[in-house]
Chain A
Amino acid sequence: MTDKLVEQIRDALRVVIDPELGYNIVDLGFVYDISVLDGAVRIMMTATTPGCPAIHFLREGVANAAERVPGVRSIDIVMTFEPLWTPSCIEPVVRASLGFAAVN
Chain B
Amino acid sequence: MSKRKSHTPGRRLSLVVMLFFALAFLLLGARKNDFMGYILALAVPAMIFVGTWVLPHLFPTDRLLMSLTNFLCALGVLLLYDTNPAYALQQVISYGVGLFAMILCIYFVRAMHTGRRIIWLIFVGSLALLSLPLLLGREINGAKNWITIGSFSLQPSELVKLSLVLSLAFFLSQRRMLPWVVFSVACLGLLLLQKDLGTALLYYGTTLLLFWAATGNLPFSLLGVAGGVGAAWYGYQSFAHVRLRVSIWLDPWADYENAGYQLVQGLNAIASGGLWGVGLGLGSPTSIPVYESDFIFAVLCEQFGLVFAACVLLIYVALIWRGATIAMSARRRFHGLLAMGATLLLGLQAFVILGGVLKLIPLTGVTLPFISYGGSSLVSSLCLVGFIQGVESLNEADLEEDTRLAMLERGNPA
Physical interaction between A and B? no
